[in-house]
Amino acid sequence: MADATTFAAPVASAPPQPEGATGVLVLANGDVIWGRGFGAEGEAVGEVCFHTAMTGYQEIMTDPSFAGQMITFTFPHIGNVGANPDDVEADATHALGMIVREYPTAPSSFRAMENLDGWMRRHARIGLAGIDTRALTRRIRTGGAPNGVIAHSATGTFDLALLLDMARSWPGLEGMDLAKTVSTETHYGWQGGLWRLGFGYADDEQGDRPHVVALDYGSKRNIFRNLVQAGAKVSVLPATASFDQVMALKPDGIFLSNGPGDPAATGEYAVPVIRQLLDTKLPLFGICLGHQLLGLAVGATTTKMFQGHRGANHPVQRRSDGAVEITSMNHGFSVERDSLPAGVTETHVSLFDGSNAGLEIDGGRAFSVQYHPEASPGPQDSFYLFERFVTSLKDAT
């Protein structure tokens, strides 16, 4: 099928469905974008965003931070290395679906265990191909991340009016607590280090290691692998864990994970616990949603971003020495710099738009960054943060 991208508003005046179109994206403003479906059949409603990474589509699709969102990949050739059981960041696929330029080809990687179409079907996720992803990305950049419905029907049968109603009825991510929906439900001890070609994932080294208790707001596995690589032992608790439950594990330090949704909504139950943890003077490290929650805990405010930051090529400047890190980002909310109280220092800033990308309090005993230092996918410029955190645990014990 030729490129079937069509923008029109409202649905009542949408152009005829192109021949061979088995997928469609309907936006809340009435825009209709035809394409070729793959993966699971059905429909899903959420926020439409874009991601600029050239690799790591499995890691991106399984990142819990993408709950409630469908991803427009700006790189055209998604799926060309297939799928395998190693390159995932969680037990489930959390992104609602993917929107791509080219229909996924047969995999060309010795690591592939199945093609992307089969992997998407097995995980009940919808794909839409044949889309002018540049045009859709420009639309998001100028108009903001819209609500929409992605749908796939092998017969090409769609009720556009119903899909439009779904898109318009969805409340949006602002005010939505999604951390509870993606968090672990039970306490567990993490096992496993970083992956190496020919060796797989490393086993934990035994011995006397500082103990990190991680609050799981939607964590990625490679975060915990990096903590292990840096020399820590990791226990994981649900997002709703109480202060007493955390302290019962006798932590040497606290980790606040990434996650989806509005930090202000998650903060209703998370912030009081974080404030109690700060009072213990234990070292604390947060990333992404954990960064935003730490900001809220010290009195700052967060806001919904116009289009968000999602990609593996985001430059961030470190305030202390001016060094620039190329980082992996995935967030739609940010900590407002002007709301940071006295005693809280901004440590990093985005060079794309000047938004806050890091903070620290108490001389660095507690610190956080807006980006993903574990990458996966992305550059490894920021691995040092895990080493800094674990070193602080060793110094404190």
Same domain for 63 and 33: yes
Segment 151-193, tens digit of pLDDT: 999 999 999 999 999 999 999 999 999 999 999 999 999 998 8
In a domain? residue 2: no
Same domain for 212 and 156: no
In a domain? residue 222: yes
Single out the residue in 169, 195, 223 at which a domain terminates: 169
What confidence score (pLDDT) does residue 184 get? 97
Same domain for 219 and 99: no
Options 94, 123, 348, 372, the catalytic residue? 372
* Under-50 pLDDT residues of the chain: 1-2, 6-9
Catalytic, 374? Answer yes
Specify whether the CB–CB gap between 263 and 302 falls below 8 A. yes
Same domain for 86 and 150: yes
Contacts for 281 with CB less than 8 Å, ≥ 6 apart? 362, 365
**Rg of the chain's alpha carbons, rounded to an integer?**
21
Single out the residue in 139, 169, 199 at which a domain terminates: 169
Q: In whole angstroms, what is the distance from residue 92 CA to residue 123 CA? A: 7
Q: In whole angstroms, what is the distance from residue 26 CA to residue 32 CA? A: 5
Same domain for 196 and 313: yes
What confidence score (pLDDT) does residue 295 get? 98
Q: Is 303 exposed, middle or buried (0-12, 13-18, 19+ CB in 10 A)?
A: middle
What confidence score (pLDDT) does residue 234 get? 97
Tally of domains in the chain: 2
- Amino acid letter, residue 127: G
Same domain for 128 and 220: no
What pTM was estimated for this model as a whole? 0.94
- In SS3 terms, 151-162 reads as EECCCCCCCHHH
What confidence score (pLDDT) does residue 362 get? 79
Options 288, 314, 325, 360, the catalytic residue? 288
My answer on whether omega of the bond before 315 falls inside 30° of 0, hence cis, is: no
What confidence score (pLDDT) does residue 205 get? 66
Catalytic, 43? Answer no
| CATH number of the CATH domain containing 114 | 3.50.30.20
Give me the percent of the chain exceeding a pLDDT of 70. 95
Give SS3 for 301: coil
Single out the residue in 120, 150, 169 at which a domain terminates: 169
Same domain for 185 and 68: no
| CATH number of the CATH domain containing 383 | 3.40.50.880
In a domain? residue 4: no
What confidence score (pLDDT) does residue 254 get? 98
Same domain for 197 and 53: no
CA distances from 48 to 148, 158, 277, 363 (A): 6, 19, 35, 39
Specify whether the CB–CB gap between 81 and 108 falls below 8 A. yes
Structure tokens at 136: 């859709």
Phi-psi category of residue 362: left, alpha or beta, with phi > 0 → left and psi -120 to 50 → alpha: left
With residue 393 as reference, give the H or E element that holds it.
Answer: helix 384-396
Options 89, 325, 360, 374, the catalytic residue? 374
For 131-248, strand residue ranges (E) read 147-152, 188-189, 195-196, 200-201, 211-216, 233-238
My answer on whether omega of the bond before 373 falls inside 30° of 0, hence cis, is: no
Same domain for 51 and 21: yes
Same domain for 262 and 220: yes
Same domain for 28 and 163: yes
Contacts for 79 with CB less than 8 Å, ≥ 6 apart? 57, 100, 104, 105, 107, 115, 116, 117
Catalytic, 372? Answer yes
* Domain extent at residue 351: 179-396
